[in-house]
A = this chain, B = another copy of it.
Amino acid sequence: MVTKNQLKEILKLKQKKQRIAQGLFVAEGEKTVGEFLNASWPFKGLFTTGNYSHSKAIQITQTEMNEITHFKNSSPILGIFEIPKPKIIKETPITIVLDSVADPGNLGNIIRLCDWYGINQLICSYNTVDCFNSKTVQASMGSLARVTCNYKKDISKYLESLRKPVYGADSSGVSIYSIKLPKFASYVFGSESHGISQKVSNLIESKLSIPNFRKEKGAESLNVASAVAIFLSEIIRDA
């Protein structure tokens, strides 16, 4: 069963402030929870309505699961995991940077894409959505167990320190299909609504765009996760 106190604690973790204070986050679903367990992430609690075979899983009722879930529809398993201490990760030749990305689902998707293309670290501006947001955890489908989100107070300062060319995704830029995208570079993606911030823009050596193939007037932009997918594919395709 779930105690009243546990219920309160789990629901609190919907808020970033509380996740930071407690050092905990919630993951739901067999696939996602399984990936964290496989990666031996320390956890504080594991609740299941099904026959999840884990010695520490606590059996609860469907009604209880419906109360503790962070989603409209619950999953058969919910885990409370510890937020790891910030890791120092060796700089990689390709750096992917998110500047003010607000949508948690998009961030989760980008984490999954980085995982797929073998990138272990994602640099995020402070105002990018928290990677331990339940929706981000869900959308990352466990890839968060392998990709570290490194939040930087000043991403322009960080980019300068890397001493490598900086490219920015921008619809006014040069087509990504017209040049060979370098594998020793930083690539910056801006917010869904406001693009790349001015301070970071100043560091950009070249703006790059995914050309719009519609002849007549069409969509004004792509979803930021779609843009990252297409960029990563172009950068890494012949790796």
Give A residues with C-beta under 8 Å from B. Answer: 31, 105, 109, 112-113, 115-118, 139, 141-143, 146, 177, 210, 212-215, 218-223, 225-226, 229-230, 233-234, 236-239
Smallest beta-carbon distance A176→chain B, Å = 8
* Residue among A146, A214, A215, A239 with most chain B CB within 10 A: A214
Smallest beta-carbon distance A29→chain B, Å = 11
Q: A115-B218, A219-B112, A223-B109 are in contact. Are A213 and B230 (CB under 8 A)?
A: no
Smallest beta-carbon distance A221→chain B, Å = 8
Give bound CA distance, A150 to B177, whole Å.
Answer: 30
Give bound CA distance, A223 to B236, whole Å.
Answer: 18
Smallest beta-carbon distance A22→chain B, Å = 24
Give bound CA distance, A112 to B223, whole Å.
Answer: 8
A116: contacting residue among B210, B236, B239, CB under 8 A: B210
Count of chain copies? 2
Q: A141-B219, A219-B141, A223-B112 are in contact. Are A233 and B214 (CB under 8 A)?
A: no
Give bound CA distance, A115 to B233, whole Å.
Answer: 20
Smallest beta-carbon distance A236→chain B, Å = 6
Give bound CA distance, A177 to B213, whole Å.
Answer: 21
Give bound CA distance, A139 to B226, whole Å.
Answer: 12
Give bound CA distance, A236 to B230, whole Å.
Answer: 12
Give bound CA distance, A181 to B144, whole Å.
Answer: 32
Q: A219-B143, A237-B177 are in contact. Are A112 and B226 (CB under 8 A)?
A: yes
Give bound CA distance, A213 to B237, whole Å.
Answer: 9
Chain B residues near A215 (CB-CB < 8 A): 118
Give bound CA distance, A223 to B142, whole Å.
Answer: 12
* Residue among A109, A218, A236 with most chain B CB within 10 A: A218
A218 touches B146 (CB 8 A): yes
A219: contacting residue among B105, B115, B218, B229, CB under 8 A: B115
A210: contacting residue among B222, B233, B238, CB under 8 A: B233
A236 touches B213 (CB 8 A): yes
CB-CB nearest in chain B for A38: B217
A238: contacting residue among B115, B177, B220, B234, CB under 8 A: B177
B214 touches A115 (CB 8 A): yes
